[in-house]
Amino acid sequence: MLVKEIGISGMLKIVFPQQFMKKGLNRIWLRRYKREFYIRKDASDYNIIKFALIDEDDNGEYGPILTDSLLKRLITPVIIDGGANIGIFSVICRSLFPDAKIIAIEPGKNNFALLQKNTRGAPDVICLNRALWSKAEELSLHQPAGTDTE
């Protein structure tokens, strides 16, 4: 349930971003993970938060990639968050696996800045402003209009 996860204020920002979010950074409180988290009004951040914390399938389970029960089955001391975006997966993993080292990789400049802000103070989270690719070569990053905005 949305209110249970992020409170009334956070719910209004996620469900009605144009009406309840200010331009620039907006703070929401992630109750389950006991930390504040920042999202931007004019980016896809709220869709990622909604998918990670709120969207349910027909069985009432959260999105398959970020289902807590799935994550709890992983037994590994290192977690790589490739394409970390603004850091929600890294924050969830930090809460579920407090002893793991987390490497969060994000190539987008503005997403990376918010990733650093959202994981600040989280022990053993290493943020890299890089891209993850199958081989060593020079790549260019294409940002569709309206993504990776400030």
Residue pLDDT, tens place only, 20-43: 888 888 888 888 778 888 988 877
Q: What's residue 113's pLDDT?
A: 95
Q: C-alpha angle with apex 1: 55 to 14, nearest 5 degrees?
A: 60
Helix axes 88-96, 109-119, angle to 10 degrees: 30
Q: Are 93 and 68 in contact (CB under 8 A)?
A: no
Structure tokens of 58? 């027909």
Other beta carbons less than 10 A from residue 148's beta carbon? 21
Q: What's residue 147's pLDDT?
A: 61
Q: What's residue 48's pLDDT?
A: 78
Other beta carbons less than 10 A from residue 139's beta carbon? 8
Q: What's residue 140's pLDDT?
A: 87
38-93 pLDDT, tens digit per residue, is 988 877 887 777 777 655 554 555 444 445 555 555 555 789 999 999 999 999 88
93-136 pLDDT, tens digit per residue, is 888 888 889 999 999 999 999 999 999 988 889 999 999 888 88
Distances (CA, A) of 28 to 69, 83, 91: 24, 22, 13
